[in-house]
Structure 1
Amino acid sequence: MALLELKNVNVRYIMKDKKVHACQHVSLEIEEQDSIGIVGESGSGKSTLASAVLRLLPQRITQVDGEILYNGKDLLKLTKDEMDALRWTDLSIVFQKSMSALSPVHKVGAQMEDVYRVHFPNAEKEEIKQRVYDLFKVVNLSDRVYELYPHELSGGMMQRVSIALSLLHNPRLLVLDEATTALDVVTQSQILREIMSLEQNLNVTRIMITHDVSVVASTCKKIAVMYAGRLMESGETKDVLVNPQHPYTQGLLKSFPSFKGAKNDLRGIPGSLPDLSQEIPGCVFAPRCPFATEKCRTVEPELKTVNGKGNWKVACHKVGGE
């Protein structure tokens, strides 16, 4: 049984006069101790999907349906108290903007204590401090950070604090939402190495939300490609990136420089994302796809297996000779 299974998940943002279909018919399986990167351009629904999994979307303006099964339990059917009990202990997240995730008027240690006491309200201060110190060592931070305010830290240090915060209660599933995007390449590389080390030492399953295909190529076993709220292609990273089947995946890869083999000119994907408040017939990528046919513009493709590999799936009519 998969640790996390998404079945036909749909997310809609409710506006005054329209609904924006941010995610549609997303189905995905994540095994225990997997590492999967969800990629796609801005507006493709990656962060919305992650927030839906952790039920962080405001109910007043969103509708979520389908099934989000964690360890066999549908998270969408849990009560608020049941869901709160899972956050930090089973499910945890590291946000992109660590400065926004941390209170600027409280010391780092005080914030770590508050989170720790959510699940252990009677914990002694020294017990919490020792746990935090242990995590600081794991993410390469000095103990002195405990007594500092967030504005006294660099961007890389704040991101390390956010990672330590997310690991306070040894979660089984860790979501990193563009967690290294705002960092310089050296700091990003250091933090990614530390994250991969954490997975091996703590048996953490990781979902990485990013628009950077190179990050997924170097740190994730599996990849899922999203466009306009739909899943375009998913499978083992080595399969998808070496021989991408969906035209959108192919276009993404052509927009990133290659560090091995022949050097090719970078090419963007012409056009822009569709209006997700409108009903879109056929394949959502058809208006930008160089291989689109009349069938693509009228019939929505289903996810189908590639080359007999059950975990490599593509939503494209041209795959399999159709």
Structure 2
Amino acid sequence: MAVLDIKNLNVAYKSRNEKVFAVDNVSLSISEGDSVGIVGESGSGKSTLAMAILRLLSENDTEITGEIDFKGKDLLKMDINEFNKIRWKELAVVFQKSMNALSPIHKIGSQLEDIYRVHEPKIAKQKLKEKILSLFKLVNLSDRVYNLYPHELSGGMLQRVSIALSLIHKPPLLILDEATTALDVVTQGQILSEIQKLEQDIKMTRIMITHDMSVVANSCKKVVVMYAGKIMEVGNVEDVLIKPTHPYTQGLMKSFPTLKGEKKELSGIKGFLPNMSEKNKGCIFAPRCSFVQEVCHKVAPKEFEIKSGHLSACHLHGSEIN
């Protein structure tokens, strides 16, 4: 059963003279209990995709078309008051620097209480405090944080508070946008392990946007590779990351070191992201691709099914690329 079904989603940032096509005709289905990592270079449209799902993009500055179906309802057509009733309770988010959203003049505990009561105003104070302290334990924070102010915590501790806050209602859908970047490796591993347990207990679905391929490899079931607003490859982690079939995915993997197996020489992907204010007729990755063919400049590739659940948008049609 699909918790989130995105169909032909387009997001363009508007300015006086042009549009920047940040998300270009993206379709993606995410099932209940899935943990999906979204990877790609900066500027590939990953965060814009998350912001569109959460309806955090300004209507004055963006143009959005398509469908975002969440549990049977199109989020884009939903009345904003109706959407606010499910935001945070049914779909929550943690951004890279979400700790900056905390009030500097209120204690951590009172802030979390106030946010929880937006959806559950009648909960007893002691019961709510116990709930918050149990979340602090989950993200490796001591009980004393409850009575501290934000300036008394480190950046990493504040980020852990934000992660605890996102889990306070045990939402069916959780989006983490570079949410663990500010954490040390040990704490990051502990939190992701606890989130994975929570996913099993309440069938929570997670979307994880990150530049760290190891985080996706160790904590996600599926991976989506984005480039210049488009999906290049999607499939199970063991398929896409171990044997990628799209030249862009292979380029990403060659730029990432490994701690196991044979030693390999690291290499980057030559060139830069294209001008995303211009619509491209062919493959958007063609100017940087080592396997480019004449057809790549003229015709946009369709998604080719390499095996069940593993898709690659490339004219090479999933053949091995050496």
TM-score, shorter chain, exceeding 0.5? yes
User: Paired residue for 1:41?
Assistant: 41
**What code does the residue aligned with 2:317 have?**
V
Contact 2:245 2:318 in 1 (8 A): no
Contact 1:156 1:187 in 2 (8 A): no
CA distance change for structure 1 residues 210 and 166 in 2, over 3 Å: closer, same or farther? same
User: Paired residue for 2:199?
Assistant: 199
User: Paired residue for 2:77?
Assistant: 77
CA distance change for structure 1 residues 287 and 196 in 2, over 3 Å: closer, same or farther? same
Q: Distance in 2 between matches of 1:154 and 1:202?
A: 30
Q: Distance in 2 between matches of 1:104 and 1:162?
A: 14
2:312 pairs, out of 309, 314, 322, with: 314
**TM-score, normalization: structure 1?**
0.95
Note the residue ranges of structure 2 that are not aligned, 5 or more in a row. Answer: none
Q: Distance in 1 between matches of 2:164 and 2:99?
A: 14
Taking the TM superposition and a 5 Å limit, the aligned residue runs for 1:160-309 are 160-307=160-307, 309=308
Contact 2:11 2:62 in 1 (8 A): yes
Write out the 4+ residue segments of structure 1 that deviate beyond 6 Å after TM superposition. none
Q: CA deviation at 1:45?
A: 0.4
Q: Distance in 2 between matches of 1:40 and 1:103?
A: 32
Q: CA deviation at 1:186?
A: 2.8
Contact 1:4 1:31 in 2 (8 A): yes
Contact 2:7 2:27 in 1 (8 A): yes
Give me the CA root mean square deviation: 1.4
Number of corresponding residues: 319
Taking the TM superposition and a 5 Å limit, the aligned residue runs for 1:56-75 are 56-75=56-75
Q: What's the % identity of the aligned pairs?
A: 61
**TM-score, normalization: structure 2?**
0.95
Q: Distance in 2 between matches of 1:200 and 1:142?
A: 25
Contact 2:281 2:298 in 1 (8 A): yes
User: Paired residue for 1:13?
Assistant: 13
Contact 1:95 1:101 in 2 (8 A): no
Q: Distance in 2 between matches of 1:299 and 1:105?
A: 56
Q: Distance in 1 between matches of 2:69 and 2:59?
A: 19
Contact 1:37 1:224 in 2 (8 A): yes
Q: CA deviation at 1:72?
A: 1.6
**What code does the residue aligned with 2:34 have?**
D
- SS in structure 2 at match of 1:300: coil
Q: Distance in 2 between matches of 1:158 and 1:98?
A: 8
**What code does the residue aligned with 1:312 have?**
H
- SS in structure 1 at match of 2:60: helix
Please identify, of 149-158 and 110-119, the stretch whose mean Cα deviation from structure 2 is larger: 149-158
User: Paired residue for 2:29?
Assistant: 29
- SS in structure 1 at match of 2:65: strand
Note the residue ranges of structure 1 that are not aligned, 5 or more in a row. Answer: none
- SS in structure 2 at match of 1:60: coil
Cα offsets for 1:119-138 (capped at 9, x unmatched):
12344433322221222222
CA distance change for structure 1 residues 41 and 257 in 2, over 3 Å: closer, same or farther? same
Q: Distance in 1 between matches of 2:23 and 2:239?
A: 25
**What code does the residue aligned with 2:95 have?**
F
Q: Distance in 2 between matches of 1:88 and 1:299?
A: 41
**What code does the residue aligned with 1:102 have?**
L
Structure with the bigger percentage of helix: 1
1:145 paired with 2:150, answer no
Q: Distance in 1 between matches of 2:91 and 2:200?
A: 18
User: Paired residue for 1:99?
Assistant: 99
- SS in structure 2 at match of 1:24: strand
